[in-house]
Structure 1
Amino acid sequence: MASSVPPLLDLDITGIAHGGTFIARHEGRVVFVSDAIPGERVRARITDGAKSSFWRAETVEVLDASPHRRPHVWPEADMSHDPEERAGGADLGHIDLDHQRTLKRQVLTEALDKFAGPGLEAPVVSPVDDTDGTGWRTRVSLHVDADGIVGPYAARSHRVIPVASHPLARPLVAAEALSLRNAKPGRIDLVESSDGEVHVLRRPERGKRPAPRVIVERVGNRSFRVDADGFWQVHQNAASALDGAVRGALEGRIDPDAVHFDLYGGVGLLSSSLAAAGATDIVTVESSARATAHARENLADVDATAVTARVDRYLASLPDGTRAGTIVLDPPRAGAGRAVVEGVHALSPDAVVYVACDPVALARDLGTFRGLGWDVQSLEAFDLFPHSHHLETIAVLSR
């Protein structure tokens, strides 16, 4: 850190940034501050002052508290601990739940305004249950350090923090996590499947990884086989919420004679939504061979073809003149990107349903779509990650 950077600053918090930090300014320089709330005045410790354009800081004392501040939902992440000793993974847990959703909508609004072009209104961020935002994580990753300490990492660190609670985890996952003893250094994943069993997956720092364990998840009356360490939604209600939202978005948009695509299709969750909406010829594309193999099993009773390929390369390989009915697009956090958006556009689909876990990546891709002549017909947002900065958004586009 440069010698001219003061170790502590008193800062007025003016907004929230994408990624769960908060915005202040010091002598014209932006400072990104953790554990604050817009409207507060805080005392913050500078942790990264190397850049001339912005600094990073951690709140060590609240001088003028927001009415939306509450005791942290995770005691081990509370302000009473030194910032280096605060458990990470619940970066909005010090804010009342309704205001968290207001702030998430603000982040989405600013991303849309900056990257997607004018005229788009961010939707209200809706809950998917009526709880206090705890007890929802079916998947928890912990770490074991060289001294055998088991816990989460501290925020923005690889320092393992010992904890006595896991309030965001499902109760059985939390109990299993607190019972872990005598583990070798490495990572431990705990996964609760739909049958209520908690699977403990140990990943030592060195050595051969064991063969994947297959579990079964359920959405409505449909079962999905998935690797326990593969991708599945973390919130216990998330898969059902997204299935219902995508089905609703697809209503009236399915041409039964067309080919429909589920891009970044995973193990077939949203392909099943397409089938339920009336699609009879579905191609699901996913780069993971394990996930694609599961998709073939999971979709055996519908007219679906599972392809293992990178989405951008798959789209580029299609013959000129290939046309699509409706395309469901569910990319990873980095978004689809220009090449994929242009590849989707080249298929001249009737509609695109875009499922996004990152508001900035979504906004960038929507900007590309709009530049190609697409209109955003609707936007929905869901709080699938209470007490963290993440949210899920579904956009429906047509021409």
Structure 2
Amino acid sequence: MMDELLDLTVGPVAHGGHCVARLPDGQVVFVRHALPGERVRAAVTERRRGYLRADAVEVLQPSPDRVEEPCKYAKPGRCGGCDWQHATPEAQHELKTAVVRELLTRIGGFTVAEVDDLGVRVEPLPGGPLGWRTRVQYAVDAAGRPGFRKHRSHDIIPIDRCLIAHERIQEAPVTDRTWPVKGGGVEVVASSCGDLTIFTRPRGGRTPRLVSGPRLVRERAVGREWKIDATGFWQVHPAAPDALAGAVLDFLQPRPGERAWDLYGGAGLFAAALAPALGPEGRVTIVESSPGGVTAARRNLADLPQVRVVAGDVGTVLGNPRWRSVDLVVLDPPRAGIGREVVAAVTARHPRAVAYVSCDPAAFARDVATFRERGWRLSKLRGFDAYPMTQHVELVGLLTPVS
């Protein structure tokens, strides 16, 4: 519930899809639906010890980067999925770049000069800021209507169309009907090869039920066609797989005969990109804990004899002393990052280079700080706007031993 109104001068952007303002007594207010430099009237939505959260409900002095939100649901108190629809695409890239820079200094321990030397900036991917999302998860309310949750809430806002969804998803027969999975969800996948699949996820995490379309959808990436379970993981932006794999190859510069580890490897995207460069004498080992990811990797890379797939938790697998040495490592962990144990295990094997792919810049900055403690440096960094209109960003960093 919104309560008192505050007149605020908005300060810098912060991680989480909001900007920072301060009350006259210095109390911090995290403000959504605002931009740096604006004067806004904001409604308090949450009170916590030491700070407030608020939504800008009236703009008193707009930023030159402000635009009208294209989606009627991207408003205060409505859908919480998009954070930056009120900013130009160029401003969104600058906001995300500023967040990455701030996290590298505050969490990663970098100096401003070190961040400047990296030249980090968040780059757009091909395509516009709308119609890009190829995998959409709708929540279903008590009346069976699909929609999305409010920001920091379990309340569901029924919708008729999501503008960042792929056009085929927008046209799919989902939002014009009710669903018998109250408290569960409906998911739609529009693959890069033209497949469209709809399935439901019943409440309580029970087995998804296929409604229409193929269970295995076809994707195209790194010059290969993939068959991926519609309920499994794949990048949601159609240009992201090739962009991320291209950055990893450019950073690592793999050589024939080298050995590589693709950790948290999923379906094997990066292994597939590395294998041709390593040649028949090289080897790529994928480590993946998800049974679905292991199955997908074995299915899709069966034609690459230099690739093997190991099922298991990365930390547990690397705890085995038989995993002695490696030349190259790719890290593509879940949002939580890898943690100190895995950093220690990787650096103890003395690879010549590590490519770290991350969808959470805070976790990335924390883990890079741990690499730095162990005598490694972040040599290169690229950011990709793989989630336009939202706060999220993909990073690819190159880590190398200082010695």
Tell me, yes or no, whether TM beats 0.5: yes
CA distance in 2, matches of 1:158, 1:43: 25
- C-alpha displacement of 1:269: 0.4
Contact 2:265-2:288 at 8 Å conserved across structures: yes
Q: Which aligned pairs between 1:190-201 and structure 2 lie closer than 5 A?
A: 190-201=188-199
Partner SS state of residue 390, structure 1 = coil
Letter in 1 for 2:115: L
Give the structure 2 partner of residue 315 of structure 1.
Answer: 318
Measured in 2, the distance between the counterparts of 1:220 and 1:48 equals 45
Counterpart Cα distance in 1 of 2:222 and 2:257: 26
Q: CA deviation at 1:244?
A: 1.6
Residues 235-287 of structure 1 deviation map (CA, whole Å, 9 limit, x = unaligned): 11111111222222222x43x33421000000100111111332621110011
- The answer to whether residue 155 in structure 2 is matched with residue 159 in structure 1 is yes
The DSSP-based 3-state class of the residue aligned with 1:93 is coil
Q: 1:111 aligns with which of 89, 103, 127?
A: 103
Secondary structure of the residue that 1:165 maps to in structure 2?
coil
CA contact (8 A) 1:247 1:276 kept: no
Any residues of structure 2 matched to 1:1-399 within 5 Å, and which? Answer: 7-26=4-23, 27-51=25-49, 53-78=50-75, 83-84=76-77, 86-116=78-108, 117-118=110-111, 119-121=114-116, 122-131=119-128, 133-176=129-172, 179-184=175-180, 185=182, 186-205=184-203, 208-210=206-208, 213-251=215-253, 253-254=254-255, 256-278=256-278, 280-302=282-304, 303-319=306-322, 322-399=324-401
Question: Which stretch of structure 1 is more off in the superposition, 274-283 or 284-293?
Answer: 274-283
1:343 offset after TM fit, Å?
A: 0.8
The runs of 4+ residues in structure 1 deviating greater than 6 Å are none
Percent identity of the aligned residues? 41
Give per-residue Cα distances to partners, 1:129-167, cap 9 Å, x unaligned: 142x11100011111111122211122222221223211
Kindly state the Cα deviation for residue 220 of structure 1 after the two structures are TM-superposed. Answer: 4.2
What amino acid does structure 2 have at the position aligned with 1:304? V
- Whether the aligned pair in 2 keeps the contact of 1:165 and 1:178 (CA below 8 Å) is no
More deviation, 64-73/241-250: 241-250
1:106-148 deviation digits (Å, cap 9, x = unpaired): 00000111122231335121111142x1110001111111112
Q: Contact conserved, 2:219 with 2:225, CA < 8 A, in 1?
A: yes
Are the structure 2 counterparts of residues 214 and 277 from structure 1 closer, same or farther at C-alpha, using a change threshold of 3 Å?
Answer: same
Structure 1: distance between partners of 2:356 and 2:228: 22
Aligned residue for 1:312, secondary structure, equals: helix
SS at match of 2:54: strand
Measured against aligned partners, the alpha-carbon deviations of 1:327-380 in whole angstroms (never above 9, x if no partner) come to: 001111111111111111011101001111111111111111111111222111
> What is the RMSD computed on CA atoms of the aligned residues?
1.9
User: In structure 2, do the counterparts of structure 1 residues 177 and 340 end up closer, same or farther at CA, with 3 Å as the change threshold?
Assistant: farther
Q: Does the 8 A contact of 2:160 with 2:176 survive in 1?
A: no
Q: Is the 8 A contact 1:224 1:269 kept in 2?
A: no
- Alpha-carbon spacing, 1:247–1:98, altered in 2? closer, same or farther (3 Å): same
Moved more, 88-97 or 42-51: 42-51
Q: Distance in 2 between matches of 1:346 and 1:177?
A: 52
User: 1:17–1:8: structure 2 CA closer, same or farther, 3 Å change rule?
Assistant: same
TM-score by length of 1: 0.92
The 1:330–1:200 alpha-carbon spacing in structure 2 relative to 1, beyond 3 Å, is same
Ranges in structure 1 where 5+ consecutive residues have no aligned partner: none
Task: State the one-letter code of the partner of 1:230.
Answer: G
* Equivalent-residue separation in structure 2 for 1:194 and 1:383 (angstroms): 18
Q: Aligned to 2:73, what secondary structure does the other structure show?
A: helix
For the residue of structure 2 that corresponds to 1:24, the secondary structure is strand
Count, aligned residues: 386
Asked if structure 1 preserves the Cα contact closer than 8 Å seen for 2:160 and 2:175, the reply is no
